[in-house]
Amino acid sequence: MKNIKNIILEGMVLLLMLSSCASDELKYDSSVVRDYALQLNGKPWNINVGISTRPIFIYKENGDYFGNYSSLYRFSLDNGSYHFIASDIPEQMVTLPVNLKDLVVPQAPLADQRVDLSAAVVYESPFKDTLKLNILNRSGTLRLKSKDVVADPSYAIIKTTVFVKRNGYKVSDETFIKGDMSVARSKKTTTGGINYLDDFIVFQTDEEANNVSVKIEFMTADSVVVKTKEIAGTFPILPNGVTNIDFKLNDPDTPIIKDYVVTINGVVQTK
Helical spans, DSSP H, in 30-121: 90-93
Kindly tell me if the per-residue pLDDT of 8 is higher than 80. no
Q: How far apart (Å, rounded) are the C-alpha atoms in residues 265 and 135?
A: 20
Is the model more confident about 2 or about 134?
Answer: 134
Model confidence at 220: pLDDT above 80: yes
What local confidence, expressed as pLDDT, does residue 16 receive?
Answer: 44
Query: In the prediction, which pLDDT does 25 show?
Result: 39
Which of these ranges, 6-10, 139-143, 144-148, 242-246, has the smallest mean pLDDT? Answer: 6-10
Name the nearest CA neighbour of 232 among 210, 213, 251, 252: 213
Tell me what the mean pLDDT of segment 122-151 comes to. 94
Give the per-residue pLDDT at 267. Answer: 94
pTM value is: 0.85
CA distance linking residue 164 with residue 169, whole number of Å: 13
- pLDDT higher than 90, residue 205: yes
pLDDT confidence tier of residue 172, bands split at 50, 70 and 90: very high
Q: How far apart are CA 252 and CA 228, in angstroms?
A: 13
Asked whether residue 27 carries a pLDDT value surpassing 60, the answer given is no
CB of 118 within 8 A of CB of 40? Answer: no
Confidence at residue 76, expressed as pLDDT on a 0 to 100 scale: 83
Mean pLDDT value across residues 39-47: 91
For the residues 231-254, what does the mean pLDDT come to?
95
Give bridge partners of residue 261 from the DSSP assignment: 246
